Structure 1
């Protein structure tokens, strides 16, 4: 009788583990899928806005930015007026507000807000299409995608516990943000180069760390049957990986981008 109970318990545990594994795969698919849609929205918004900000008609834009290229009124407002500071820092404020308020949102609302944030990010980085050639942007995006996929896969499959790197990476990220803000006023090319190198390394590490963290958090909550949390966690996971990708891309663009 005792052996029968042991077999039944083992069978139940195995079935539960299989259910969690299946749920984890679905969860990660949703994380990557939501993130991918967000990326498409970001680059579509950036490309569309940059197209509206530039004209080849000198009569329509008073500020020349290249051969036969002039900023329209919209372009001057976004990139030359004080509004540029709002555009620059809007995504950062959006992230803080979204992270603080997601517990009061439904999963559907959280997903919609994430897509709105992706569009805001597109507006914020739209100037890359004015500064860098389209070919170099596409090449940098491809390199970033390959690096991101490899790092995320390693973070998902490795048996090494990466949680110890979390505090170190967070401290580095805070220092990076402070240094980036300072360099907005100093405009130091040497400091800018150092920031780009450190930025690539930090977000490469965060890609692996966040992937493992998303996986670990899902398993922990799934074991406790926390269905309410599971409904929103994929959106938060998508946001974390989205930010890792976008920032790695922007820092790599400083090295690989060919300027117009």
Structure 2
């Protein structure tokens, strides 16, 4: 009986240690993601005319009816705009290829550089949508993301089966987006945005549960370096879910510049 109590006590201590470690791991995931979001916002702000209106000493250049910083104008008035638009896509593939070769600190730095590149790419939304609608849609996205991620973390239901359908949906979404580049259909664009919101909402819950389960499965190894990289990869997954859901919602509900 004493031996059984000892085993049960040991199991309880181990479970408690895993729970504490999981909380620390998730805090790191959300913390890293949040810093990435701030970097993205600052990078977009540095390009947009918002930087001009908040700093009377800043130089401005006009593009259409909108003002940009000199840096922003240099990007959008030259072929560099294509580099900025495609850079985040290339960096995601590079990140996946390099994650096993770099340290956790190196992976974190790469993520922050990626967040800055994404900010430069997203700065074009300030040329299309009003600042008020951007802020409103961002807040809506933040609330929805928090609720969906909380569901993914707390639900007892195994939603790992969603993965196949979500990936298939993403492939279909990408194909539809490429097709619509050539045909320019308004109804198809709206359908893409609606489907995109649903897909990235599902991915937010799915990725959160996957991050949690991955930690629990590997926590017993005590490999802090691997767990550090896993936290960065988790932050990247949730960051992409948030950004894409925000863009899709903005396309649906954002008020365009006149």
TM-score by length of 1: 0.90
Q: CA deviation at 1:186?
A: 2.5
Secondary structure in 1 matching 2:48:
helix
CA contact (8 A) 1:50 1:129 kept: yes
Q: Partners of 2:225 and 2:71 in 1: how far apart?
A: 43
1:214 matched to 2:211? The reply is yes
Q: Partners of 2:120 and 2:192 in 1: how far apart?
A: 23
Aligned to 1:131: 128
Aligned to 2:36: 38
Any unmatched runs of 5+ in structure 1?
none
Q: Partners of 1:183 and 1:76 in 2: how far apart?
A: 27
Aligned to 1:178: 175
What value does the CA root-mean-square deviation take over the aligned residues? Answer: 2.1
1:21 matched to 2:16? The reply is no
Q: Deviations over 1:39-89 (max 9, x none)?
A: 01001100111139989xxxx85x6411xx456775455335443322212
Q: Deviations over 1:130-158 (max 9, x none)?
A: 21111111100000000000000000011
Alignment of 1:183-202 (within 5 A): 183-202=180-199
Aligned to 1:252: 249
Taking structure 1 as reference, are residues 81 and 184 closer, same or farther at Cα in structure 2, changes over 3 Å only?
A: farther
Q: CA deviation at 1:231?
A: 1.8
CA contact (8 A) 2:39 2:116 kept: yes
CA contact (8 A) 1:24 1:219 kept: yes
CA contact (8 A) 2:180 2:189 kept: yes
CA contact (8 A) 1:53 1:73 kept: no
Taking structure 1 as reference, are residues 82 and 185 closer, same or farther at Cα in structure 2, changes over 3 Å only?
A: farther
Q: Partners of 1:211 and 1:26 in 2: how far apart?
A: 14
Any unmatched runs of 5+ in structure 2?
54-59
Q: CA deviation at 1:175?
A: 1.7
TM-score by length of 2: 0.91
